[in-house]
Every structure is written in C-alpha cells, then in structure tokens.
Structure 1
C-alpha cells in the first residue's frame, strides 16, 4: 500500500474521492492549547455568584450534557472570573481529569477550570475536531498504567499527531456527524420520556404506603387491595452453589447451563441475554434449578434488583427465588410488587441503600394485592411498556454503534 493510500480514510464523500490526501499535523500546530484555571480554595463561596452571567463548567455538566454545554447551573463571581479562563464564545475543550479525553464545546459563556484544556485560535472546524477527539478518546489510555488513572497534560495533547483533510471536507464530515448526533439525541430523549412515563405509572397504579387503592385504575376495578405479609403469600428460597467458588470444575463443559448471579440481573425485569458464567454438569446438583418465568431478587451487592428469568437456569445463593404462591398470583405483577416494595425499603434505609436483608425480615414485608384479574391487567400493561422501552433502547444502541463505525471509517 502506498503512503498516499494510508492518508485516505476508508469511507469518504464522493466529491472528495479524487482530491488531496489528508495531511499530518500535531495538534499543537493547529491551535494554541492552554489549560484552564481554578480559584483556590475552590470551596470559598466568594468565587461564586448565582446572578453572574458566566457559568462554571464542572465534570458533572460534561457527563449530563454529553460534552455539548448549553447550560451551566453554577455561576462564577467577578472575583472568581479573575482567577480562571473565561470563554465568551464557543470553543473546543478537552477534559483531562475524571472524564479523561472527553471533548467539550461550550455554547454559553463559560469559566473553565484546570481540569480542561482549551483550543484557542483553531485552524480547524470545531465540530470536525470534536468528532475526531471522540473517535480518538480510547487511545489516550496509552498514557496510563494498567488499572491506574490516565494523566493528560497540554504537552501530550500538543504533540499528538493527527491526519486532517481540507477545511471543505472537514465541514462536510462535521455536518454528517451533527445530523447523526441530533438523531441520537432525539432517540435518547424519546427513551427518557418513556422511562419517565413508566415511573409515573408505577407511582399511580400501585397504592402508596398505607393506602388501599391506587390513584389510577383500569375501568371496572373498585375494590380495596388486600394487605398481606409476603411470607403468607409466597414460598421462596435462596439459590445455591458448591463451595469454594472459583474451582474450574464447577464451570463450563459438556451439558453446561446458564448460572445466574447478581451481575446477570439486567434492567426492565429481565436477565442479561447470556449469563457471565455457565455451571458445569458436576456442580448442577449442588445448585438450584429454576424454570423459565420465575421471579428472582438480588440479596447481595445491589440488593432488591428484580428479574423474571426468560430462560431455564441455575441460580446462585446471592439471589432469592419465588418458587410458588399460596394464592392466585400473576408473575409479572408480582415482580413489580417486589420491585416497588424494595424501592420503598431503600428510601427508609440510611443513605438509600439496604445493607443486608434476612429471609425472616423479608417474610414480614407487607404487600398490597388486588384481584387476580386486576393483577393480570397491570402485569400485561407494564410488560408491554417494558418491551417498548427495550425496543427503543435497542434503537439507541444501534444508532450509537452506527456512529462508532462511521467514526472509525471516516477518520484516519
């Protein structure tokens, strides 16, 4: 392959296919790269003033707005402005602390602290370089030791080599990715709206603590929900696994089966599509087999996460299995009852986290149960809603993967 071929990306717009190859530069040749500055001590309230027109950029703003800063809640005072770098127009920034390597563009007046680099007087299209930095972000890891925090500084960034095309081609690439990012953002908002809607329905379609009726019901249902102790409604037990953990003979091999652990409990009351571990034929008699369609809840780590297993599996001792019921219970409805109950208990717990829970305490939990017909209506409603949310989530993931592929093919 000729040197010229190496300087052309895999995918290129037709109007640029027969134009010049991309040119190599160092980032420091394309902009004046300087570090932000922070007033000290940063906790001093004199540096901040909520009436100021200048915002103060924090790492949380970068993560919440995905690097595109349209609003800054915290404002920096006139005194603080004298101790930092203030940008009155849009600039390209690069995070060098916490969210290392994350590119940022400010669209509002911004005070920039010392956890960011600023690209001043750029000789490139801002959006083009934003996308290039997104593509290159994993490569900054080469400057860190395995398992340690990556440390970036202005010299490392200035010396980083980059291939760039003409300004006209840069703008075409920028326009393409701007449109793609807008599509991704729209899908993200759509997904968040559906999740918020589900949250609202959950709060209205189940009785509040101490209440006998929910705020919102399907037509034809008016009776009070019955208060019962969980242990009198359901029969449950913990899973199991041969000890000690980690022995090779307990995992994989011929006739292996899915082995469900806490890490395998996913969102929307589902398990992950493929468990992290498979249990061997030798270990299976020492574990607990659970047929498809049973409600599971985590008892260690992140306590209170709920799933209905969508495939037969063996279950670890770190999860609880609802095996059967003493009354007519819809499994999907029951999963939501358990999830909601644990959410209530988390709110009562110090720090919002349940540290531990015993079978005896769980058996005493009070749960509200409607008629079986109403259970089915509620279960079906939320199951359909979860399927819609999962579909929208997959669409978002697909769009993100498409962007990732384009980034790899449209840059060198």
Structure 2
C-alpha cells in the first residue's frame, strides 16, 4: 500500500511502513565509472565480440543486429572484461541517457557508452533512479559540445543519488521492474497482433493477378469482382463540418478529427457534426481513418466517405480495401477525384465482406486495447518516477 510522505528528505509517495529520511551521496561513491574506446578498433567478421555504442542500448537491454561491428577478444580493454552483472550502461554521446543492464554479453564498449559498475547490490533501484526525470534533466543540462552533445564522466560521477534503506531500495527496484515487465508484455502482444493483421491482409485479399484470396472463411467461394472506388463511395465535402474556432478543451464534447496519426485534434463546443458512420480521407496525404461517432473537422483537405450501395458494400471492409490499395502520391496535389475514384479494386459479395470486416475489426479492437493499456501504464510509470524518488 502506498501513502503520501510527510518528511522533507523523502519522496512524495512511499510504500507503507517506511518513514526514514533518504540519504544523499554522489554516484562515484557507490560505483566505478568509465567509458569505452576513444578510437576505432580493428573490425572483423570473424570476431566474437560486438562493438557497441549508445544506440545499442534500448529499453534496458543491449541490442545488436547484422549491422553491429565485431572485433576479436584481444581488442577488449581490461574495463570491458571487468563488466559484471552489477553493471549499468549509459549512452553519453549523441544519444543521451539510454540505459541498459549488462547481462554477460560479449561486447566491447565504444566512447558513447559509459559503464557504471555498482558497489551496492540494488542495481534495479539505481537504474530506475537514473531514468527519473530530474536525473535525466540534470544530464541534459550539463552536456558539452555544439554539434554532437556529450555527457561527461565528471557529470556522471557527481550525480547526486538520494537513497533509502537497502530494503526499501529493493522494494522500489522490484516495483519498477514489475511495471516494466507489464509494459513489455503489452508491447509484445501488440507487436504480435499487428504482425498477424499485416499477414492476414495479404492472405485475405487477392494478390497480383489473382481474383480470389489465399485464405477464405468456410462457405465462401467464387471470384471476387472488380469495382472502382467511385462505385464504392459517396464523398461529402467537409465545409459544413469545419470548426470556426480552434480553441479546444477536454471539457467540450465534440471531437475534431484529422486523418493523420493524431486523429483527435481536440474537442469543441460547436455542434455541426457529421453523424454517419464514415471514413475521413486526406486528399493530399491519402491518410484515412474509420469513424463511427459524430465529429467535426478542421481542414478542407478532407473528404468524408460513406457507402454508395449498402446492399453491395460494407464500410469497414471498404476502409481496409482503401487503406491497403497501392495508390501513388502525386506530390502536393488533391488525389481523390482524379486518382482514387478511378482505381479498380476487387471485392467479394457483401456477406463475405462483412465476415472479413468483423474479423479485422476484432483485431483492430484488440490492438487499440493494448495501445490504451500501454499509454495508461507509461503514464503511471512517468508519474511514479517523478513521485517515488527524491530530487
């Protein structure tokens, strides 16, 4: 159980039962700190040691790929060979502030990686303390260099670390590790779902010169038939639904939409909404979004699309068809009437469209749920990093 702290030298939020003041020391008192090679080693494809820099430190782990250079064992420095399970790595040149645990990987450090070899057992506490916003801001405020920024070892060594008892450090470290694990689980599931949908879009729609897809639901057969997008959609000009003011507030009710990644620009008091299930389509970028609630828009560059013949076409299926049809962007020009409408596409009978639509929409709902959970968990983590450590 968490409770609000009252002590001046303690964090705003603490676990129940802990009341003692935190103590301060500088990082060099509890760790040996250095950096990697200031130079270029002799690379070789036959090497067994990866030569890493700050961009190899991602989400707490060392990531290498086919592009990561290799060296032979003899190239490693004494410091490289003395890395241990109580070592934290920190990016200090160009990319600043990325962190990773050293977990026995065969690596040689470049100059953009600092090693922090802790003399204390609570590496998870120190790791998350270094990720806290006030430490990250301290690092950014003390960078050197004009073009490529550098975080000096002196700054790292002089970093103030406020810490509680070892017991509380372990508790805090475990709390953040569990939170990170939960976040990573959602990321993994999200990636799997996105990959599944990507694969199914290929298999459930005809490819190349085919007129039937590779995979179909049971009970459906026969060739898909060609139609143009002009046959599929009515389009509505956005003018009646464009907001007159961009003074948005979360206290207002009407969403103002865009077809790009942002989707919801804000909320307005205005009520001239478009009220049909529809697709908003950006005439310049070809971005599109499916919408099933009343909305307004900001830009006249949008087209609002609805189904022309509801007994022949399903809107969500047609949305996926539009989104996954290759249409060349012709510079900064309007596309819908001249380019998109004449485009020919294949579609099955309505009942098969609806079956495909239901499957894909279920996948999208699962993806959106994981996105929402990730956003919520990341906000929780951000708040906890601010409130559960001493600045």
TM-score, normalized by the shorter chain, greater than 0.5:
yes
1:132: which partner in 2? Answer: 129
Q: 1:121 to 1:378 in 2, by over 3 A?
A: closer
Equivalent residue in structure 2 for 1:5, among 4, 7, 10: 7
Q: What is the rounded CA distance, in whole Å, between the counterparts of 1:85 and 1:319 in structure 2?
A: 58
**1:220, CA displacement in angstroms?**
1.3
* Residue 209 of structure 2 corresponds to residue 225 of structure 1: no
How much has 1:256 moved relative to structure 2? 9.2
Q: Equivalent residue of 1:276, what SS? A: strand
Hey, what does 1:360 align to over in structure 2? Answer: 338
Asked if the contact 1:131/1:407 (under 8 Å) is kept, the reply is: yes
| Change over 3 Å in CA distance of 1:59–1:80 after alignment to 2 | farther
Paired residue for 2:179? 180
CA–CA distance in 1 between the matches of 2:183 and 2:166?
25
CA distance in 2, matches of 1:111, 1:125: 25
Q: Is the 8 A contact 1:36 1:84 kept in 2?
A: no
Q: 1:305 aligns with which of 267, 274, 287?
A: 287
Please report how far the alpha carbon of residue 195 of structure 1 lies from its aligned counterpart in structure 2 after TM superposition.
1.8
| Cα displacement (A) at 1:143 | 4.4
**Which one has a larger percent strand, Structure 1 or Structure 2?**
2
> Aligned partners of 1:345, 1:159: CA distance in 2, in Å?
56
1:220-259 mapped onto 2 (5 Å cutoff)? 220-236=219-235, 239-240=238-239, 250-252=245-247, 258-259=255-256
Q: Deviation string for 1:144-196 (max 9, x for gaps)?
A: 79xx9865322222222220123343233223322332232222212222222
Q: Counterpart in 1 of 2:359? A: 381
Aligned residue number for residue 94 of structure 1: 90
1:276 aligns with 2:266: yes
**Counterpart for residue 319 of structure 1:** 302
Q: Distance in 2 between matches of 1:340 and 1:212?
A: 16
Rounded to whole Å, the distance in 2 between the matches of 1:242 and 1:171 is: 55
Q: Match of 1:68?
A: 61
Q: CA deviation at 1:71?
A: 5.3
Asked if 2 retains the 8 angstrom alpha-carbon contact of 1:252 and 1:280, the reply is: no
Partner of 1:43: none
The 2-side partners of 1:13 and 1:260 are apart by 42
What CA RMSD, in Å, does the superposition of the two structures yield over aligned residues? Answer: 3.7
Q: Which residue pairs with 2:46 in the alignment?
A: 51
Distance change in 2, residues 1:240/1:28 (3 Å): farther
Find the partner of 2:112 among 110, 115, 127: 115
How far apart, in 2, do the equivalents of 1:72 and 1:114 lie? 19
The Cα offsets for residues 344-387 of structure 1, whole Å up to 9 and x where unpaired, read as: 346xx8xxx97766231222322111111111111111112211
Q: Which residue of 2 aligns with 1:336?
A: 320
* Structure 2 alignment gaps of length 5 or more: 1-5
SS class of match (1:52)? coil
Runs of 4+ that moved beyond 6 A: 253-256
- Tell me the distance in 1 between the aligned counterparts of 2:123 and 2:150: 24
Alignment partners' CA distance in 2, 1:205 and 1:262:
25
CA contact (8 A) 2:55 2:95 kept: no
Q: Do 1:102 and 1:133's aligned partners in 2 also have CA atoms closer than 8 Å? A: no
* Alpha-carbon contact 2:235-2:304 (below 8 Å) kept: yes
Question: 1:390-401 alignment to 2 at 5 Å?
Answer: 390-401=368-379
CA contact (8 A) 1:33 1:119 kept: yes
Q: Do the aligned partners of 1:221 and 1:374 also contact (CA within 8 Å) in 2?
A: yes
Structure 1 residues 24, 355: closer, same or farther in 2, change over 3 A? same
Offset at 1:331?
0.8
In structure 1, runs of 5+ residues without a counterpart are: 41-45
Counterpart-to-counterpart distance in 2, 1:149 and 1:118 = 20
SS in 2 for 1:297: strand
* 2:100 aligned with 1:104: yes
Structure 1 residues 23-32 or 372-381, which shifts more?
A: 23-32
Deviation of residue 78 (structure 1)?
2.9
Q: CA deviation at 1:201?
A: 1.5
Cα offset, 1:257, TM superposition:
5.1
